[in-house]
């Protein structure tokens, strides 16, 4: 009904309806499914072998300490909790955590905030195009589109489940001035296909030769091979370039998901440039979210400043890694199931892998078997347990096999 006396055309009439984020929509669809044997392989949260996503013990202890001892919740500033930002640095950048004073960071609302800040700051500094391996985390493209940063896609992986190094090298070598490249530090989302040490060495050389600006998104640190191993590629790039951005997330490796704990780091050639870039990032943060949420970052800071809590956190992280490796071994050993060869999943890394299944097959897995995965065929490895993995493997065989009608 139109209100009397109002203008014939309202401003909001101009908006086109947007479909909900497909990945996040799966959370609700899964919750509404009453089947007791349903399997959630959708959004990227870690699950135990019992299918739970508990709060880390280290976090619980740090949170208790916060409740008992936090003196104030007064404002901190757009850069957030610098104790948290600095405490993370040795884990990301190694012993010389500031690379001789060339790195500075700030807290962001999750890894998403850090990626957004990286792209926005790149644009402010004159970046005109960002090269990106696809498929990628769907929100990467959404952020680029929202900021109006041109995206230049290249193939991230080959059909046999290995990294397409030729494609990334070609993209870097073809890049013009003022262009950047977005790389996943480890545990590639969605493919689980990471670059080998040799691949990183070639990528580093190409980046150093061309001067393309690297943005490295590291959202799964510690969930691949280990804390040092997972950032070896990132460190090798930083050792060779004058400037770079790093987007970092603690949402997975500290299990802080909804608390939105991230950090954004800038590597610059000289102190003066670093200070100026930092002041610009600070201004962008102030205009976007003003200040990041404190609670999760404060808890991470307490963990990293206490050796006992740090040990508890690292033990929890390696247990997660071990469990996912176990699931991957089982999937890899399953080999050919229907038309899907699961073998490459055994050697891929992190929370995700992509199955070569059609959208119809994804829909059939959901309707006939209560198995929820992204439309792209991405599965969250941690959603599989020793209790449901056999059901999953036989459902894949059934839905993609010769007698299926879901092809
Ligand atoms: C995912 O890819 O599932 C996670 O990174 C969650 C998200 O925000 O998309």
- In terms of domains, do 50 and 116 share one? no
Q: What is the mean pLDDT of residues 103-114?
A: 98
Q: What is the mean pLDDT of residues 11-38?
A: 92
- The minimum-distance atom of ligand 1 relative to the CA of 24 is 9
Assessment of whether the complete model's pTM goes beyond 0.85: yes
Average pLDDT, the chain: 95
Is 224 contained in some domain? yes
Q: Catalytic residue among 40, 81, 137, 349, which?
A: 137
Q: Which of 249, 277, 293 is the last residue of a domain?
A: 293
Query: Nearest residue CA, atom 2 of ligand 1?
Result: 44
Q: What is the pLDDT of residues 356-379, one digit of tens each?
A: 999 999 999 999 999 999 999 999
Is 313 contained in some domain? no
- In terms of domains, do 180 and 285 share one? yes
Torsion over CA: 83, 85, 86, 88 (sign): positive
- In terms of domains, do 23 and 126 share one? no
Q: How many domains does the chain divide into?
A: 2
Does the pLDDT of residue 130 top 70, yes or no?
A: yes
- In terms of domains, do 42 and 97 share one? no
Residue 13's pLDDT is 87
Measuring from each residue's beta carbon to the nearest atom of ligand 1, which residues come in under 6 Å? 23, 43-44, 137, 139, 189
Is 131 contained in some domain? yes
Q: What is the mean pLDDT of residues 311-321?
A: 98
Is 151 contained in some domain? yes
- In terms of domains, do 189 and 245 share one? yes
Residue 22's pLDDT is 87
**Separation of alpha carbons 395 and 389, rounded Å:** 10
Please name the residue that has the structure tokens 């176990």. 326
- In terms of domains, do 112 and 219 share one? yes
Does the pLDDT of residue 1 top 60, yes or no?
A: no
Is 108 contained in some domain? yes
To test the pocket of ligand 1, the residue of 44, 47, 374 to mutate (highest count of ligand atoms within 8 Å of its CB) is 44
- In terms of domains, do 174 and 259 share one? yes
For position 84, which CATH number holds? 3.40.640.10
* pLDDT band with cut points at 50, 70 and 90 for residue 299: very high
Token pair belonging to 142: 């959404």
CA distances from 179 to 12, 143, 156, 207, 282 (A): 36, 17, 18, 11, 23
- The minimum-distance atom of ligand 1 relative to the CA of 219 is 5
What pairs with residue 183 in β-bridges?
Answer: 216
Residues recorded for the chain: 407
- In terms of domains, do 34 and 104 share one? no
Q: Which of 293, 309, 337 is the last residue of a domain?
A: 293
Helix (H, G, I), strand (E, B) or coil at 164: coil
* pLDDT band with cut points at 50, 70 and 90 for residue 8: low
Q: What percentage of the chain carries pLDDT values higher than 70?
A: 97
Q: What is the pLDDT of residues 254-288, one digit of tens each?
A: 999 999 999 999 999 999 999 999 999 999 999 99
CA distances from 148 to 5, 101, 222 (A): 38, 32, 32
Residue 19's pLDDT is 87
Q: Which of 293, 310, 333 is the last residue of a domain?
A: 293
Helix (H, G, I), strand (E, B) or coil at 261: strand
Is 307 contained in some domain? no
Does the pLDDT of residue 407 top 60, yes or no?
A: no
Strand 261-267 versus strand 244-249 pairing type: antiparallel
Is 29 contained in some domain? yes
- In terms of domains, do 226 and 288 share one? yes
Is 1 contained in some domain? no
- In terms of domains, do 34 and 148 share one? no
Helix (H, G, I), strand (E, B) or coil at 95: coil
Q: Catalytic residue among 40, 230, 252, 330, which?
A: 252
Does the pLDDT of residue 15 top 90, yes or no?
A: yes
- In terms of domains, do 127 and 83 share one? yes
To test the pocket of ligand 1, the residue of 135, 139, 141 to mutate (highest count of ligand atoms within 8 Å of its CB) is 139
Q: What percentage of the chain carries pLDDT values higher than 90?
A: 92
Residue 161's pLDDT is 87
Q: What is the pLDDT of residues 55-104, one digit of tens each?
A: 999 999 999 999 999 999 999 999 999 999 999 999 999 999 999 999 99
- Number of Cβ within 10 Å of residue 219's Cβ equals 27
Is residue 289 annotated as part of the catalytic site, yes or no? no
- In terms of domains, do 244 and 332 share one? no
Residue 125's pLDDT is 98
Q: Which has more confidence, 165 or 14?
A: 165
For position 347, which CATH number holds? 3.90.1150.10
Contacts (Cβ under 8 Å, ≥6 apart) of 286: 78
Domain that holds residue 22: 12-55+321-400
For residue 379, the CA-to-ligand 1 centroid distance in Å is 12
Q: What is the DSSP letter of 192?
A: -
């Amino acid at each position: 009904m139109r209100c009397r006396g109002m203008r014939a055309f309202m401003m909001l009439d101009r908006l086109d309806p947007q479909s909900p984020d497909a990945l996040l929509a799966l959370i609700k669809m899964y919750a509404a499914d009453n089947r007791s044997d349903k399997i959630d392989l959708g959004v990227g949260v870690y699950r135990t072998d019992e299918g739970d996503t508990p709060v880390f013990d280290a976090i619980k202890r740090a949170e208790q300490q916060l409740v008992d001892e936090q003196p104030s919740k007064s404002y901190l500033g757009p850069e957030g909790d610098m104790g948290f930002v600095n405490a993370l640095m040795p884990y990301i950048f190694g012993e010389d955590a500031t690379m001789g004073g060339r790195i500075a960071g700030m807290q962001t609302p999750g890894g998403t905030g850090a990626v957004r800040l990286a792209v926005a700051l790149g644009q402010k500094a004159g970046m005109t195009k960002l090269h990106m391996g696809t498929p990628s985390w769907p929100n990467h493209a959404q952020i680029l589109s929202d900021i109006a940063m041109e995206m230049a896609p290249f193939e991230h992986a080959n059909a046999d489940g290995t990294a397409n190094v030729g494609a990334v090298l070609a993209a870097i070598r073809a890049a013009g001035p003022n262009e950047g490249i977005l790389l996943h530090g480890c545990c590639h989302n969605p493919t689980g296909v990471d670059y080998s040490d040799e691949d990183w060495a070639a990528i580093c050389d190409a980046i150093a030769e061309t001067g393309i600006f690297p943005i490295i998104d590291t959202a799964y640190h510690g969930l691949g091979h280990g804390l040092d191993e997972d950032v070896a590629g990132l460190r090798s790039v930083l050792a060779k370039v004058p400037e770079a951005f790093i987007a970092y997330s603690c949402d997975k490796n500290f299990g802080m998901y909804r608390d939105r704990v991230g950090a954004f780091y800038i590597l610059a050639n000289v102190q003066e440039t670093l200070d100026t870039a930092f002041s610009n990032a600070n201004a962008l943060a102030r205009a976007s979210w003003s200040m990041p949420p404190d609670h999760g970052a404060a808890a991470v800071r307490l963990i990293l400043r206490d050796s006992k809590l740090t040990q508890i956190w690292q033990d929890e992280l390696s247990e997660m890694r071990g469990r996912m490796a176990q699931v991957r071994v089982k999937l890899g050993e399953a080999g050919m199931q229907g038309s899907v060869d699961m073998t490459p999943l055994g050697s891929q890394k992190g929370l995700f892998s992509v199955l070569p299944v059609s959208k119809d097959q994804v829909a059939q897995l959901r309707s006939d078997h209560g198995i929820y995965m992204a439309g792209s065929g991405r599965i969250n490895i941690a959603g599989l347990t020793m209790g449901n993995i056999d059901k999953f493997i036989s459902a894949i065989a059934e839905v993609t096999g010769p007698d299926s009608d879901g092809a």
